[in-house]
Amino acid sequence: MKQLTFIFLFIAFISCKDHSSRQEPENQQGETITMKYAQGFSIKSYETYKILEVASPWPGAKAPFRYLLHSANSTFPDSIDFDEKLEIPVKKIVVTSTTHIPALEAMGLENKLSGFPGTRYISSEKTRKLIDSGEVQELGQNENINTEILIDLSPDVVVGFAIDASNKSLETIKKTGIPVLYNGDWTEKTPLGKAEWIKFFGVLFDKNEEAEKIFDDIETSYLKAKELASLSKTKPVVIAGSMYNDKWYVPYGNSWQAQFIKDANASYLYADTEGEGSLALSFESVLDKAGNADTWISSGQFESYGQLTENSVHYDKFKAVKYKEVYTVSLSKGATGGVLFYELGPQRPDLILKDLITIFHPNLLQDHENVFFKPLN
């Protein structure tokens, strides 16, 4: 009995995956697809297959996820270690974040989308037409996806996201036999890093070159706008964020939001802070530090100065409120109320940057019509 127990434990031990020791198959040299800014994933192309590895599916993830992508009837070494195996190009997909929608649309693949949890949050006119015509099915809530409808749709893959390792909904989907791939675009620290995740979707549909070209155009547009902003001799002082439950939440200085302000050649008052998420401050401390800030951006759900002062008369003490220099993303919405910034923004950082440049430096980019950031009514 002791001998059998030992054998069982030994087999269990060697069967456990050790992500840290994953190696390339012998006698094979893969070609790495270049990532200029994104740090959360990598793609390696071999003769008959590709390896997509997501290193940062969520903050603090202890091990990467490794996905084997192969074409129909292709062969690959038995020694490859992977979490999911997927035939490409994908013909039918389910995604779970609105940030995934613009990448599909940019490559003309929105008709490959078959389902989405929380379709009312989708703003894009193209995808909304597909929803209205019944081609994209409602799947319920992200935390509790309707697996019966999902199984009926029979997608080739579900692209999910998670804030930590415990995602019961996605684990349930895996048990049905539908491959689940984690997308960690939201964990990137830079605007262009987030946008580069279009290459994640490019490899799923075997459109690597097209995804590369789309990203290169976005990068070029962003860098040209950044260079133009640097020519301005003025540098306005900026405050960001908004109140929620008696706390004012502002982006940390190492966040992607703060990077936009820096690249738009403005001075962010909390640029010297570092951390994950947002910095929670009292109203009084923000007023003391930012009362004389020239501009206030990302003012929460407020859409008008009336709503602002109705919430608190103390907002009138801010210079940006007195001189009507408060801007919000809440005015740019889709037909069902979804905020466009949270959907298209990560994919088009060049448009966000141009919006901010027109706010901070009105004499530059005079032909640009703001897409996301608009002044309060």
How would you write the chain as a 3-class SS string?
CHHHHHHHHHHHHHHCCCHHHCCCCCCCCCEEECCCCCCCEEEEECCCEEEEEECCCCCCCCCCEEEEEECCCCCCCCCCCCCEEEECCCCCEEECCHHHHHHHHHCCCHHHEEEECCHHHCCCHHHHHHHHCCCCEECEECCEECHHHHHHHCCCEEEECCCCCCCHHHHHHHHCCCCEEECCHHHCCCHHHHHCCHHHHHHHCCCHHHHHHHHHHHHHHHHHHHHHHCCCCCCCEEEECEEECCEEEEECCCCHHHHHHHHCCCEECCCCCCCCCEEEECHHHHHHHHCCCCEEECCCCCCCHHHHHHHCHHHHHCHHHHCCCEEECCCCECCCCCEHHHHHCCCCHHHHHHHHHHHHCCCCCCCCCCCCCEECC
Q: Is the pTM of this model over 0.85?
A: yes
Q: What pLDDT is stored for residue 166 in this prediction?
A: 81
Q: What pLDDT is stored for residue 311 in this prediction?
A: 83
Q: What pLDDT is stored for residue 136 in this prediction?
A: 97
Q: What pLDDT is stored for residue 300 in this prediction?
A: 80
Assess if CATH 3.40.640.10 describes domain 233-375.
no
Asked if the domains 30-218 and 233-375 are classified in one and the same CATH topology, the answer is yes
Q: What pLDDT is stored for residue 232 in this prediction?
A: 96
Q: What pLDDT is stored for residue 21 in this prediction?
A: 39
Q: What pLDDT is stored for residue 28 in this prediction?
A: 60
> Domain limits of the chain?
30-218, 233-375
30-218, CATH topology level:
Rossmann fold (3.40.50)
Q: Which residues of the chain have pLDDT under 70?
A: 1-28
Q: What pLDDT is stored for residue 33 in this prediction?
A: 87
Burial class (CB in 10 A: 0-12, 13-18, 19+), 242: buried
